[in-house]
Amino acid sequence: MPSGNRSLLDYTYGGIFINTNGSFIIRNCKISQVSIGIHLSISIPPRVYQYRIINVEITNCSIGIYSRWSHVTVNISNCYISNCQWVSITATIDIKSHLDYGGIGIWVRSDEGSVIEDCRIKDCSIGMQTELVEFIHNNELINCGIVPGMIISDYDSSNTVNGKPIGLFWGVDNMVFTQVNASQYGQLLFVACANLTLSNIHITKPCSIGIQLYSLSLF
């Protein structure tokens, strides 16, 4: 799937599609050139089963790993995902309201106890977009970044963008950021911060989002 192609695969083409009751493990797989590498479409009672995706390589797909069920627990670890790029094909009804244009390495909306760790995501339009994931550690994003969902997940300082830690500031008021202190971070996210000042900050390509602002007053 060449980068920049605007007439790529339809979302009906998936590598692994799972809609079943029961725990499972997807391990040691290679998936390439499909619309969704792994699509978890699971509607079951909450917290009954656990789902694990381990050591999977996904390349040249529109979306690497996708799950939108907020009541399931997902553990994603040691995966390598690369070159998930934007497309313009309209998605099917199942995901149309969320992901019209693809381009996401990992898109997960899950239950408490879910984990994304030790993954490497490279050259995607958006590296990772998550909601409600409880533990996100030691993930390496290269030439792409994180877009938090409406409910912010826990990104600790072990996660990096282009070799630098993610700067997530939540409810910290009266901060002043210039290029000098911003340059230590691969990506900056400010959530509910009042009286924030950003000055002379350089944002360079490639990146998913250089600075993200959530419900704050900005000067």
Sign of the C-alpha dihedral computed for residues 174, 134, 115 and 84 taken in this order:
negative
CA distance 113 to 163: 27
More confident position, 203 or 143:
143
Query: What are the structure tokens assigned to 147, written together?
Result: 């877009």
Q: What's the confidence (pLDDT) of residue 76?
A: 95
Is the pLDDT confidence value at 112 over 80? no
User: Which pLDDT band holds residue 88 (cuts at 50, 70, 90)?
Assistant: low
What is the arithmetic mean of pLDDT over 69-89? 82
Q: Give the CA distances from residue 92 to residues 10, 88, 100, 162, 186, in Å, rounded to whole numbers and listed in that order.
A: 8, 12, 9, 33, 34
Is the pLDDT confidence value at 2 over 50? no
The arrangement of strands across the sheet holding 115-117 comes to: 24-27, 50-54, 73-77, 115-117, 135-137
Q: What's the confidence (pLDDT) of residue 81?
A: 97
What is the arithmetic mean of pLDDT over 207-214? 68
CA distance 110 to 129: 11
Per residue in 12-63, pLDDT tens? 567 888 877 778 899 999 999 888 899 887 665 555 667 899 999 999 988 8
Is the pLDDT confidence value at 122 over 60? yes
> Phi/psi of residue 171, each to 5°?
70, 30
Per residue in 155-191, pLDDT tens? 778 999 999 998 888 888 898 888 888 888 888 888 7
Q: What's the confidence (pLDDT) of residue 92?
A: 44
% of the chain beyond a pLDDT of 70: 74
Mean pLDDT of the chain: 78
Q: What's the confidence (pLDDT) of residue 204?
A: 75
What is the arithmetic mean of pLDDT over 89-102? 50
pTM of this structure: 0.82
CA distance 173 to 47: 37
| HSE toward the beta carbon, residue 118, CA cutoff 13 A | 8
CA distance 128 to 77: 13
What is the arithmetic mean of pLDDT over 146-162? 77
Is the pLDDT confidence value at 151 over 70? no
Q: What's the confidence (pLDDT) of residue 218?
A: 43
